[in-house]
Structure 1
């Protein structure tokens, strides 16, 4: 399988901020869970082909633990103060760059993380354990996805970086998984297809529709 987007994560301050962000941009929550041992929790909004994960810190001690430290999730969770990237990209299919293995404390299966993602100024790139699109999940966890808003698939990613991109990020750009441009601050825009045939663009981390 070619490299495909599984999900995007973005750090927010807490659960209240996550719920407010979803309401502000008119998205429907699909599922949520806590990540025991990693110190984070999430609320997720599924599209047909991928999902958006709003992630926040629940336990800074767990985030700073030896098993989690290399991910630099602690710095990412405080991106307002640290200048870190609040974003992560989970991928399905073949991963076209060198990786290291991270074993999240809350699951038995390890994940392959791109070399260079240890730099918190870069987006966290990894292969997701999920194999299928949300509209193919057999357990109903995706719910009705974003049908109420007339939104279908995430069809493009526009990543703005205030630092030079790692080889892994540049590889994804070369393969058309995302478009990349320099900027003064971290921004990720999701290009979303609509039922009416048009497209909308959601800007993160401010959660506003800009097109």
Structure 2
């Protein structure tokens, strides 16, 4: 079996503020793990943690912050407007050095990080993510799986609903839009599956695995979270 050089840390999808997708996940038996605001970035989230990764639903809280010069290259504002602009609403974060997969990056230091942290505490963002028609691809140094988080951060994972891990991530591209070179490289290195759709919409599917190793549910986003 091929040894992966990077692992998927988490996924995000943009929704409207406190959108219906949150309750849709809860109706399917998932448990909210934590929420967080991102001052200066203009976003906030709710996260659903599994043993190996977490799913982040992200929304805009300040258009002025998200469109500020410091934030412009992230294209978070454009991604948040995917319903209107046809941009990609997804992001995939990895544990590991993106350069190990041959991916050029730039360093993003979010405004909400405490100023006393060392300067090397920055997020590696793939330069191909400058295109908002591509998912945002990035990594954060020192990331660990949710099962390894301290208890005060870990909160409630999805074991109560019978799921241990989220596996088999598939990202679907709309007709006429091809995955970037960075995404192809990271997909090969992490096991992420890519599909070319026939319609105009992006999509993502994530399999939920029980303690016995069987897949018992598949989350389909965004259509399955309404």
Q: TM-score range by the shorter chain?
A: over 0.9
Gaps of 5+ in 1: none
Report runs of 4+ in structure 1 exceeding 4 Å deviation.
Answer: none
- Give the counterpart of 1:190 among 191, 196, 206: 206
Residue 106 of structure 1 is matched in structure 2 by 112
Check conservation: 2:26, 2:32, Cα contact below 8 A.
no
Gaps of 5+ in 2: 115-120
Write out per-residue CA displacement over residues 155-174 of structure 1, whole angstroms, 9 at most, x where no aligned residue.
Answer: 22101012111011111222
CA drift of 1:3 comes to 0.1
Residue 205 of structure 1 is matched in structure 2 by 222
CA drift of 1:131 comes to 2.1
Residues 137 and 62 of structure 1: is their aligned pair in 2 closer, same or farther, counting only changes over 3 Å? Answer: same
Q: How many residues are treated as equivalent by the alignment?
A: 208
Residue 92 of structure 2 is matched in structure 1 by 89
- Give the counterpart of 2:80 among 69, 77, 80: 77
CA drift of 1:24 comes to 3.2
Distance 2:154 2:97 in 1: 24
Residues 80 and 16 of structure 1: is their aligned pair in 2 closer, same or farther, counting only changes over 3 Å? Answer: closer
Residue 42 of structure 1 is matched in structure 2 by 45
Distance 1:19 1:170 in 2: 30
SS at match of 1:154: strand
SS at match of 1:2: coil
- Taking the TM superposition and a 5 Å limit, the aligned residue runs for 1:117-156 are 117-156=129-168
Q: TM-score, normalised by structure 2?
A: 0.86
Write out per-residue CA displacement over residues 59-104 of structure 1, whole angstroms, 9 at most, x where no aligned residue.
Answer: 0110100111111110111110010111001110131211011121
- Give the counterpart of 2:185 among 148, 157, 171: 171
CA drift of 1:18 comes to 4.6
